[in-house]
Structure 1
């Protein structure tokens, strides 16, 4: 499952590194190798006009489904960008898509597609072909997250367009926005939102970074670390404050207010009920293109249907069909 993680979360890596290593067979997501023909036809993907999401777990048992919050993220992208193709790509095989109410609501959008991809073929012809065939992904302690990392950069390399995490709500159209990333704070670039035209050299640098600097034992190294290092090389500066559009050849490093106005340390405010906290959140995100709700931390936090919680209010507005299927807790 794709969900955001910032460079600051590397502090968690230090704690995890002292834990006993998992056996290789436990770390490998075996379902990626289960036989099933890919339903994705590369020729049907419109270059630079698609918004991509990934669901990388193996928890489908033949029937694919998202939870309601993930479906909300996809719906918000489709609702706010009706002229773009919204593709949810899934490396684990499935026979059918769930008929749960929120899934049927999501698929009522004509610009939404759910497609299976064959991991053994997806990297052919890319800079990561030999890397994947050599089994480098199997060294990951967090293959679900690292697979999402690898797929987002590979997909932008193959098609161009937009990558978005599954723990977001899109608040504005992407029209007129391209070749951008979002800063998480004054020091770090995050990888929850990425947009690059097909063939952009930054994505090629990102692919080379993955090929030569992949670290399976560090969670954030292969996601936000990749785009941060690629930007430093491309812009030829080390400080985020100096990564201007002029310096970076037209690439827009958007400020935290664009996508990460509420930082991960403050994730609980999305679920606040105290009116002063609610007002602060809504004012803080007033100019945001999207919000990121930091699923790593917030997944178990209740969002009560009909409440004044900021996340609930935004879901009711920007993923109304999915939201309407939920009765008590979103």
Structure 2
């Protein structure tokens, strides 16, 4: 089952008059996709970040939306377990072979929190709980990655007793698996533009040949439109192959 959570007070319209409404209705037609609204103030109650969230520190920091998203993903995994994934990914391989507790390396220095998995009970639950306590105790509202990638990177270093991610990529420590770069981030965010370059299709396909997901770095690329009838770029290739019904509901620009 796939749960798409949203925290805004908006409601779903029955109208088919806009592209976004058609796509949402199409997604709702899948029996395994559920959209759920979450009240954040109630969601944090009784959790390790309850007092931290209610202190409103995030709301006065430089990155309130990004940091709120960071808290939510760890809290979701603490409450329910399973796999968390950002929305700007394309799943290209069955996820059943993923270990229960994991994160993926973004490069040789850091893990990324865009895709993570933790068990609801046992050691995985303890690991993600330690992440929440880390968030509450070491929050820095002036640093973008302070409670996102930095937290899971610190967890891996602590569990593996090493100062360097490059030493443990592809390994596991205390049942926490550090997956290699190509698992989720075969295209580094520094190189996001190759996803929009038709001459780079073979490069992207080769780089992602062993991937579970392809992270598409929407934070950097959101202003870059793809002309569906005329463009033949890697991003569109993967969207057509793995998200065909979405593409059929888009008139011109993706």
TM-score by length of 2: 0.91
SS in 2 for 1:181: strand
Q: CA 1:122–1:280 in 2, change beyond 3 Å: closer, same or farther? A: same
Q: Does 1:175 pair with 2:96?
A: yes
Would you say 1:150 and 2:71 are equivalent positions? yes
| Deviation (angstroms), 1:160 | 0.5
Q: CA offset at residue 95 of structure 1?
A: 3.1
Structure 2 CA distance, aligned partners of 1:251 and 1:289? Answer: 18
Alpha-carbon distance between aligned partners in 2 of 1:88 and 1:247, rounded to the nearest angstrom: 29
Match of 2:18 in 1: none
Measured in 2, the distance between the counterparts of 1:271 and 1:244 equals 28
Q: Distance in 1 between matches of 2:154 and 2:177?
A: 15
Which of the numbers 205, 214, 223 marks the counterpart of 1:291?
214
Equivalent residue for 1:189?
A: 111
Pick the aligned partner of 2:84 from 158, 163, 178. Answer: 163
Query: Do the aligned residues in 2 keep the contact of 1:202 with 1:234 (CA within 8 Å)?
Result: no
Q: How does 1:1-330 map to 2 (within 5 A)?
A: 85-97=1-13, 99=15, 100-177=21-98, 178-199=100-121, 200=124, 201-243=126-168, 248-274=173-199, 277-306=200-229, 307-330=231-254
CA RMSD of aligned residues (A): 1.6
Gaps of 5+ in 2: 16-20
Task: Specify the alignment match of 1:4 in structure 2.
Answer: none
- Cα shift at 1:310: 0.8
CA shift, 1:247, in A, is 5.3
- Report deviation, 1:262: 0.7
- Whether the 8 Å contact between 1:163 and 1:192 is mirrored in structure 2 is yes
Instruction: Return the structure number with greater relative CO, CA threshold 8 A, min gap 6.
Output: 1
Cα separation, partners in 2 of 1:290 and 1:242, compared to 1, 3 Å? same
| CA deviation after TM superposition for structure 1 residue 134, in Å | 2.0
Do 2:201 and 2:234's aligned partners in 1 also have CA atoms closer than 8 Å?
A: yes
Paired position in structure 2 for 1:67: none
Q: Is contact 1:127-1:207 (8 Å) kept? A: yes
TM-fit CA distance, 1:97? 4.3
Structure 1 unaligned residues grouped into runs of 5+: 1-84
CA distance in 1 between counterparts of 2:37 and 2:81 reads 19
Whether the 8 Å CA contact 2:183–2:213 is kept in 1: the answer is yes
Q: How many aligned residue pairs are there?
A: 244
